[in-house]
A and B are shown apart, each in its own frame.
Chain A
Amino acid sequence: MANALELELKHLIIDTLELEDVTPDDIDPDEPLFVEGLGLDSIDALELGLALQKTYGIKLEADSEESRRHFANLKSLAALVEARRVD
């Protein structure tokens, strides 16, 4: 279920980045995670990447354009996890 995974990812983001005043409802799946929207920065992206790797065993290609696409919003992130998870 995509929605269950989206919720799981919302929790992962909030826990990993310790976003204390953010609730899962605050994260719109279509809104940008970085800069606008949730306002995360490039260091947050690295940390999120490491958390995804730890939790789902995901690997990414080194191409930074591709990373940017995957990390665009919660939906694209969920699609990435769906496609690449190894658990």
Chain B
Amino acid sequence: MSSLDDTPQHWARIQEYGSVSTMRIMVWIRRHLGRLPFRVMLSLVVLYYYICHAPPRRESRRYLERVWPLHSNRPLRWRTWVGLRHFLAFGQSLMDKIDAWSGIPIELKMSNEDRQCLDQAISSGRGGLMLVSHIGNLEICSAMSDKRDDFHVTQLMHTHNALKFNQLLDRSTLRRGPEIIEVSEITPATAMRLAERINAGGFVVIAADRVPLNDDGRTRSLEFLGAPAEFPEGPFWLATLLRCPIYTLSCLRDGEAHRVEFSPFDDTTRLKRVDRDAWRESAMQRYVDWLTDQCRRQPLQWFNFFPFWQTHDRTHS
């Protein structure tokens, strides 16, 4: 085992920025003083982080240089300004999370097609697996699941990051939100629990864009925004084992509203064992294509501030 300090590049080893006490103050300002003072405060905090935290700033720039030509057909210009906007978008997403969980109404947009797809997915009673990524703001979707009694969501989360933020939410809000299963590895017990949820018509949310620490080296290198990046095979293994409908889900900020996108991805119910490897390969490529399209449309809402394109530094046993 390597110590936590000597390989700071892996996302799971990077502390999420902002201490809980700073965040508490922010929540207080948002609640008691309203939107404008909060925005001013948030901008200052974000500016501070942008200036004082070089590694995420560097990673943000690397990402922006890759995605910008795809987004605007031009190379990245005004790099500092766009980088700052990238950080501000992240700060904004934190505010949106707080709003969502504080019960402040949020405007959700959804195309008719996607809405029908979601309604059908729920009413079919077959449940499913929803592939997501760290783009946009999924907590908003979870807030949506709060409003529907027939929409049961279980979110699979890696234990390391995001703990702080969830602590904060738990203490300062009354909402319960989706069931969260925190795991550092998928055990038979986890798989059984997930299968149980899906058999009961529920939906399991899993992010497929970050490689966990204990992944047994099950990753695949795929071309993403012009260079190879490592993606975890785990979610796609799960998809074949759980034998259920698979969907993609995202929630991107669109002006003052949020656009929820929910689309069918595949169905592994009848997938044969011999076809699994081929399926995984094609499914992972299709996931990366989907992710590329999301980034192209909303480049500033990509919230992976760690070296995404570097071969992840992991210890193999």
Chain A residues proximal to chain B, CB less than 8 Å? 18, 41-43, 45-50, 52-53, 58-64, 66-67, 71
Digitize B178-205: 1 where CB-to-A-CB distance is under 8 Å, 0 elsewhere.
0000010111111111011000000000
Task: Knowing A53-B195, A53-B196, A62-B193 are in contact, say whether A48-B273 is a contact too (CB < 8 A).
Answer: no
List 9 A-B pairs, Cβ < 8 Å.
A46-B238, A47-B241, A49-B191, A50-B195, A53-B195, A59-B192, A62-B183, A64-B189, A67-B187
Which residues of B sit under 8 angstroms from A61, Cβ to Cβ? 189
Which residues of B sit under 8 angstroms from A66, Cβ to Cβ? 189
Task: Knowing A18-B273, A42-B216, A50-B241 are in contact, say whether A71-B188 is a contact too (CB < 8 A).
Answer: yes
Task: Knowing A49-B189, A62-B190 are in contact, say whether A43-B237 is a contact too (CB < 8 A).
Answer: yes
- What CA separation (Å) do A53 and B192 show in the bound complex? 7
Which residues of B sit under 8 angstroms from A64, Cβ to Cβ? 185, 187, 189
- Give, as a whole number of angstroms, the nearest-CB distance from A69 to chain B: 12
Closest residue of chain A to B186 (Cβ to Cβ) is A46
CB atoms of A48 and B188 under 8 A apart: yes
CB atoms of B189 and A67 under 8 A apart: yes
Chain B residues proximal to chain A, CB less than 8 Å? 183, 185-193, 195-196, 216, 237-238, 241-242, 273
Which residues of A sit under 8 angstroms from B192, Cβ to Cβ? 49-50, 52-53, 58-60
Task: Knowing A43-B237, A53-B196 are in contact, say whether A60-B189 is a contact too (CB < 8 A).
Answer: yes
CB atoms of A50 and B191 under 8 A apart: yes
Partner of A62, one of B189, B195, B196: B189
Give the top 6 A-B pairs by smallest Cβ distance, nearest first: A49-B188, A60-B189, A46-B191, A64-B187, A53-B192, A67-B187
If over half of A's interface residues share one DSSP class (helix, strand or loop), that class is named, otherwise mixed; here it is helix
Which residues of A sit under 8 angstroms from B195, Cβ to Cβ? 50, 53
Given A45-B187, A67-B187, 18 more contacts at CB 8 Å?
A43-B237, A43-B241, A46-B191, A46-B238, A49-B191, A49-B192, A50-B192, A50-B241, A52-B192, A53-B196, A58-B192, A60-B187, A60-B189, A61-B189, A62-B190, A62-B193, A64-B187, A64-B189
CB atoms of A60 and B188 under 8 A apart: yes
Which residues of A sit under 8 angstroms from B188, Cβ to Cβ? 45-46, 48-50, 52, 60, 67, 71
| Most-contacted residue by chain B among A47, A61, A63 (CB, 10 A) | A47
- What CA separation (Å) do A46 and B239 show in the bound complex? 12
- What CA separation (Å) do A67 and B242 show in the bound complex? 19
Closest residue of chain B to A59 (Cβ to Cβ) is B192
Closest residue of chain B to A47 (Cβ to Cβ) is B241
- Give, as a whole number of angstroms, the nearest-CB distance from A19 to chain B: 11
- What CA separation (Å) do A1 and B195 show in the bound complex? 29
Which residues of A sit under 8 angstroms from B186, Cβ to Cβ? 46
Which residues of A sit under 8 angstroms from B185, Cβ to Cβ? 64
Closest residue of chain A to B196 (Cβ to Cβ) is A53
- Give, as a whole number of angstroms, the nearest-CB distance from B139 to chain A: 24
- Give, as a whole number of angstroms, the nearest-CB distance from B216 to chain A: 6
- Give, as a whole number of angstroms, the nearest-CB distance from B188 to chain A: 3
Which residues of B sit under 8 angstroms from A41, Cβ to Cβ? 216
- Give, as a whole number of angstroms, the nearest-CB distance from A66 to chain B: 8
Closest residue of chain A to B184 (Cβ to Cβ) is A64
Closest residue of chain B to A17 (Cβ to Cβ) is B273
Which residues of A sit under 8 angstroms from B183, Cβ to Cβ? 62
Which residues of B sit under 8 angstroms from A45, Cβ to Cβ? 187-188
- What CA separation (Å) do A41 and B216 show in the bound complex? 10
Which residues of B sit under 8 angstroms from A47, Cβ to Cβ? 241
Closest residue of chain B to A62 (Cβ to Cβ) is B189
- What CA separation (Å) do A45 and B193 show in the bound complex? 14
Which residues of B sit under 8 angstroms from A58, Cβ to Cβ? 192
Closest residue of chain A to B188 (Cβ to Cβ) is A49
